[in-house]
Structure 1
Amino acid sequence: MSNKHALNSGLAGAAAAGLVVGLLAAAPAHADEPAKGPSAASVAASDKGGAGQGASVAPNRLSVAATAITRSEVIKRASSWVGLGLQYSWDNTYQGYRTDCSGFASMAWKLATPGLDTTSFVPSGVASWIGKGELKPGDALLNDAAGARGHIVIFGGWTDSSQTSYKGYEFTASGVHHRTIPYPYYSGYGTYRPVRNNSIVDDGASAGGDVPVAGNWDGGKAGNVGIWRDGMFHLRNDDGSTTYVDWGGGSDVPVSANWDGAGPDNVGIFRPSTGQFHLRMDDGSLVLLDWGGGSDIPVAGNWDGGAAGNVGIWRNGTFHLRNDDGSPTYVEWGQAGDRPVSGNWDGAGPDNVGVFRPSTGQFHLRMDDGSLVVLDWGGGNDIPVSGNWDGGNDNPAANIGIWRPSQARFHLRNDDGTPTYIDWGQPR
């Protein structure tokens, strides 16, 4: 694990619903399906658009079952094929899915194997056409032509607020790519329209209820907890009273830190579809920052030791942290399946990063000198939080904790290892 700096900025966890929607429909046949796979020369010649697909799925061969899936899970699944060196073929499979563009999209959407083709996603009832303004990470851009003329790209999020290009995941003749693509697709490769898996669910509150937050809302010595629900922050003060702040909504992800460097901590949201942080100042005003997008997970903390808190994202095991002057600091920490956290673990200098590993119930915390501290706390579907819970002891170090969705209860770890339990929010 290392800490490195670069000049360009980086481009956000939630539980998947368990609902299974059964859909069964006849998929249209290919009128002009090529008889065999592409030649080596044609594969080498193109890295854009379609290169043929497997045969349409007939209803007597496959029940087109679409399982409810969160947007972040779609992006995670799409990312899992990037860099594996898979060869494009409509005859071969990997993990049960055809290794062509539509097989890849079927895998990302967690459809039944071996997958649909570009002519079948909408007619089968698995997906529906949407407008450009509705696009969110996990949706797709689809050219629903047959055979080599058709193609589909998983939408990973806009590259900036102009919405002229986006990060896309696609399987072309030259392999699986994650790259910037002009909207709706490269010129000369057919007609592309936005499409949505009918079984996709938003991350955050829309995907399953309350989302936990933590910060010092009332300016006391100790940190406080809260939840974000349907665009409303419910913040718990030291005396048990509640402060309500209306901020964000939809598939936004809540964050908190002292954005303006004075008074108590502030709230904010990260909007994955635009890659923007919407930060609320003490006076209620808004500051917008472009940082990250798509499946990135937001974090917040004081990375450079200045008076104000900063934003950042965690992507594929690397923190992309924004300093006061807009420059990035990169810190490699964690692995797939981890959930990022941040806090001043050693009580000195700037804030630190860490990850919570649900599979082991352990926090892996990075100190100022790069060393590792491992703490056992929580597990499973618990969501990590951090704050100076026992600040009344005049210890400046941050503590870890978790919010357990099934209980709507915070399990907070004090400096001496003892727990404090706070019921806050609604179980989910």
Structure 2
Amino acid sequence: MPKVSKLVRLTLAAAIAASGAIATTTITATSAHAAAATSTVGGQITRSEVLQRAQYWLGKSIGYNQGGSYPDSSGRNYRTDCSGYVSMAWHLSYSPDTRAIWDAETYEIPRSDLRPGDVLDSYNDHVILFEKWDDAAHTKFSYYSFGSTPVSHVQGMSIDASRIDGHANGDYHARRYKKIVDDVQTRPSKVGVYHPANQTYYEGDNAGSTLGSAMFGNPGWKPIVGDWNKDGVDSIGAYDPDTATFYESNDNTNVSGSVKFGNPGWTLLAGDWNGDGVDSVGAYDPATGTFYLSNDNSTVAVKTTFGNPGWIPIVGDWNKDGVDSIGAYDPSTGTFYESNDNVNVSGSVKFGNSGWLPIVGDWNNDGVTSIGAFDPNTATFYLSNDNSTVATSFVYGTPGDIPITGRW
């Protein structure tokens, strides 16, 4: 059983004494996020999931036809017109018309309070799905519509335009679906360090200061970070590579669960592989470049080979779909490779210098994981928001520390 000690507030200062070299394989901490939970038909649904569902019909050659239907991502059919499209986005059990959306499914709100997943409904004619305000003054907005073939995504529409999507502005009323719920507010990813000499985790603020620290695990164990209980906050864990046993903590103090996964010598991963808002484990076999991902911390849901043997695994939500997927870092060239489907390369970029260690996180809280690097010789972090330029850099920890990332 790992030894633990209570999280305490302190300044880093001289608390970390230099010791040893960084382990040859870096444990990658997932950039956990408050992903849209999967709704049930006719049940509560988050705003982010509404927009994800709306995007499913976008770009498809679906003909506008009030007598036709088309399936959502799970195969449930909805009518192929404006109100059927909104019904699909809201995951309703049926396809009401614009009048029923008004009368049965929504209530009126001020236009100034429109939020993602709300609608502008013209009782007798048309309904559009509000995406977001395009400016702070709430004078322009973006929306999704199925008023004609194909489904459209319109940006920069004036809220005061005489006509919106072909219909008189004055006929529209701002309405809110009765079962829509706000998403859990997420935090930007921050870096930290793990000091292997005394098994201490230090959580940083991306500016060189410490937010908190905790001891967890035993000598020789590897650090890992994730949102184990769906509270939107990452906490710590540890992996015993000799026994392939993972220990997690929900309070950075006590062991809340443990599980054996993978084989001794493999690298443990954590990610939200199915978009349920909870991080679960995965494992990477460095000898073969094979990933094993689990949704229940027990059985293997995905087995896939990506990259080459000896590369370093990374995990992130590269395309803002609410699901973590894999990637790999080639230390010989300093190149990151990302995959959106756990099979194919969706993007690659060189970042950092030889001998640096890869890190990933949603540094600007835009819902997309981006890259960074850690220079172990100087304990300097370099973070990028666009996978190209350095957005910020700072020294944190001491040489010999292992970098970690999470939403503290």
TM-score computed with the length of structure 2 as normaliser: 0.50
TM-score computed with the length of structure 1 as normaliser: 0.48
